[in-house]
Amino acid sequence: MKAKISEEQLNRYSKNMDNTIAAKDRVIAWPRMGRIDIPLKALVHNLGAKYIIPPANSNEALELGVKNSIEGICLPYKLNLANYIMALENGANTLMMFQAPGSCRLGNYTKMAQKTLKKMGYEFDMVIFDMYQSKMKQTLQAFWHVTHCLNPFSYYKAFSLGFNKFFAIDEAQKLLFYCRPREIHKGDSEKLYNKWLKIIDETNSIWKGKQLVKKIRKDFQKIQIDKNKDVPVVYLLGEFFVLLDPYINQDIEKTLGEMGIEVQRQIWFSEWLEGVLKPSILNKKESHRERCVRYAEKYMKRPIGGECIETIGDTVFAAKNKVDGVIHLMPFSCMPEIVSQNILSKVSKEEDIPVLTLVFDEQTGKAGYITRIEAFIDLVKRKKMKTKNKERKGESLVAC
């Protein structure tokens, strides 16, 4: 690892945390969000720590989170709280979570959860680290605090495997989204994706970890697809947690794929991690966030927290690149995305791109949600057909 931290610095980082739990006795847990359990498990395991993975988000978890949350708090908080409770009930004594700056409540709700859990009688150590503040240094300090591992090779293996697994999962999902609406035999791409999730999970070699993306691409090339099929492209964007967790967004990517739509999600955990942890001096190309800030400038002058500026910037980018439509996902009462929602109506009109906002909370019904998506996809397909007809007429006039 390039980042060198002295033991004195590490001890200083830990002074405000619970040091009564010996490293050998720690059982670590973190919230569920999509499949981040696979790379995080590899990271923690290779640092020699014990861990518990809470069950995937479900109706049971949501009910538990709602029961113990204050009214009006957003859906990600409720599920995170439920994840913590389930992990603690199964023997965890150390909870890990990052926080973020700006108006997004992610910067506060880990501390809110900590207070709630203490009132409920749970004894544990909450390790909160701000990855935006000191990047890799803060991250290393947090993992040292919970593992007390000082072996540089263990850190190299842990972070190498973890990062490569993040990239592999994201690559498999991108290929799934491309193949699903085009596949000749329905279900082939889903089966291959699930096969690779299992392989990624079981990989415990640095060299094999680095080969994962290459092998996944090669395997997906074997799927029979209709390359001539006219498939509308829809950008999926919005709040980070809702985008990445299929339970919260009701598996919208699969729903759209089965409707014959290619989904292009604009936020990926691997890209976010790279942008947050990688020193800016090493970035040779424009990052996703930098691109969004540039494209959003007409409508928003500066970031205000959460994924607000990404939502605006990605929508403008989509319009400039002839993407067929945008679906904006947000949890009910999310402050940055409420701002986005209000600006998006203007962006949609001025940039001439269809935009649908879907708001999720525990009351979101599947039937009404599907009806809205179907109506939006009909609009997208009609607009795409209209544009193609105009282009054909234009070509005919030029030929004459």
Q: When comparing pLDDT for 12 and 233, which is higher?
A: 233
Please choose, from the candidates 265, 241, 30, the residue with its C-alpha nearest in 3D space to the C-alpha of residue 146.
30
Helix (H) or strand (E) holding 355, with range, is strand 355-360
The dihedral built from the CA positions of residue 191, 176, 283 and 303, taken in this order, carries a sign that is negative
Tens of pLDDT along 216-248?
Answer: 999 999 999 999 999 999 999 999 889 999 999
Residue 362, in any domain of the structure: yes
The number of domains in the chain is 3
Tens of pLDDT along 105-131?
Answer: 666 778 889 999 999 999 999 988 766
Mark whether 251 and 193 lie in a shared domain: no
- pLDDT computed for residue 70 by the predictor: 87
Q: CA distances (Å), 88 to each of 27, 82, 83, 119, 122, in order?
A: 9, 10, 9, 14, 7
Tens of pLDDT along 346-357?
Answer: 999 999 999 999
The dihedral built from the CA positions of residue 306, 308, 309 and 311, taken in this order, carries a sign that is positive
Mark whether 165 and 207 lie in a shared domain: yes
Q: When comparing pLDDT for 369 and 197, which is higher?
A: 197
Tokens representing 254 are 């699969």
Residue 40, in any domain of the structure: yes
Mark whether 249 and 385 lie in a shared domain: yes
Q: Is pLDDT at 20 greater than 80 in this prediction?
A: no
Residue 1, in any domain of the structure: no
- Domain with 174 in it: 159-179+182-229
Residue 315, in any domain of the structure: yes
Mark whether 287 and 369 lie in a shared domain: yes
Return the CATH number at 53. 3.40.50
Tokens representing 316 are 């403008």
Find out whether 188 and 221 touch, Cβ atoms under 8 Å: no
Tens of pLDDT along 33-42?
Answer: 889 999 999 9
User: Which residues in 118-143 are b (16+ Cβ under 10 Å) and which e?
Assistant: eeeebebbbbebebeeebbbbbbbbb
In the sheet that holds 125-130, the strands lie side by side as 50-51, 27-29, 94-99, 125-130
Residue 243, in any domain of the structure: yes
Residue 74, in any domain of the structure: yes
Q: Is pLDDT at 396 greater than 80 in this prediction?
A: no
Residue 153, in any domain of the structure: no
Helix (H, G, I), strand (E, B) or coil at 374: helix
Mark whether 219 and 318 lie in a shared domain: no
Mark whether 126 and 271 lie in a shared domain: no
Find out whether 291 and 270 touch, Cβ atoms under 8 Å: no
Per DSSP, what are the bridge partners of residue 305?
A: 102
Helix (H, G, I), strand (E, B) or coil at 105: coil
Find out whether 160 and 174 touch, Cβ atoms under 8 Å: no
Q: Is pLDDT at 332 greater than 70 in this prediction?
A: yes
Mark whether 305 and 188 lie in a shared domain: no
Please choose, from the candidates 38, 32, 35, the residue with its C-alpha nearest in 3D space to the C-alpha of residue 79.
32
- pLDDT computed for residue 2 by the predictor: 43
Find out whether 29 and 92 touch, Cβ atoms under 8 Å: yes
Q: Is pLDDT at 12 greater than 80 in this prediction?
A: no
Return the CATH number at 320. 3.40.50.11900
Domain boundary among 100, 125, 148: 148
Residue 252, in any domain of the structure: yes
Domain boundary among 195, 229, 263: 229
Q: CA distances (Å), 198 to each of 39, 107, 179, 193, in order?
A: 12, 33, 19, 9
Mark whether 133 and 17 lie in a shared domain: yes
Q: Is pLDDT at 103 greater than 60 in this prediction?
A: no
Per DSSP, what are the bridge partners of residue 330?
A: 359
Mark whether 261 and 138 lie in a shared domain: no
Mark whether 163 and 294 lie in a shared domain: no
Mark whether 279 and 345 lie in a shared domain: yes
Mean of the per-residue pLDDT values for the chain?
Answer: 87
- pLDDT computed for residue 134 by the predictor: 58
In the sheet that holds 355-360, the strands lie side by side as 262-265, 233-238, 325-331, 355-360
CA distance 107 to 122: 22
Mark whether 241 and 224 lie in a shared domain: no
